[in-house]
Amino acid sequence: MEFKEAKEQFLQTWGALGSQWGINKTMAQIHALLMISPDSLSMEEIMEELQISRGNASMNLRGLIDWGIVYKEYKPGERREYFKADQDVDSLARKIAIERSKREIQPTLRVLEDVRNFDENTSKEAQKFKQKTQELYDFVSRADTMLEKITNQKENWVTKTIMKLMT
């Protein structure tokens, strides 16, 4: 396999993984491209490399910046903006975990809480519903706490966690 080919396959695979986990393909690809680039890239270069339109590049770069995992860089004497990715894989994963918790898990918890306060109703269905939504609430909220504990370790959190779990 040639380098160019390997790079291509990596970008494709990473994009596919992204979409399976609710991150849009292009966003995942731009991020992957920036990760493996020794130098920061301009929007033009990104468009060229991934064969995407200006609008698409612009929107997804903004998304990545919102997630806090890509930065703008201004080169002295240059008008154009350059983009670079957070280089530390651990910190990247930590940021994603924190953001997804904030954006998705916590809103879900709020709904699960809400939904148990329906008007008195003693039917079998209602009882079961109360019970299961409570169980789900407990589970999700414990999982969220766990994620928080794991990611609160500043460095090498995955490794540290495995160590602790070795018992």
Residues making contact with DNA (CB under 7 A):
19, 24-26, 42-44, 51-56, 58-62, 79-81
Report DSSP state, residue 71: E
**Judging by beta carbons within 10 Å of its beta carbon (0-12, 13-18, 19+), is residue 33 exposed, middle or buried?**
buried
User: What contacts 24+ positions apart, CB below 8 Å, involve 97-104?
Assistant: 97/147, 97/150, 97/151, 98/151, 99/67, 99/68, 101/144, 101/147, 101/148
Confirm or reject binding of residue 146 to a copy of itself (CB under 8 A): yes
Shortest Cβ distance from residue 107 to DNA (Å)? 16
Confirm or reject binding of residue 93 to a copy of itself (CB under 8 A): yes
Residues at the interface with a copy of itself (CB under 8 A): 1-3, 5-7, 9-10, 13, 17, 19-22, 35-38, 89-90, 93, 104, 108, 111-112, 114-119, 121, 123-129, 132-133, 135-136, 139, 142-143, 145-146, 149-150, 158-159, 161-162, 164-165, 167
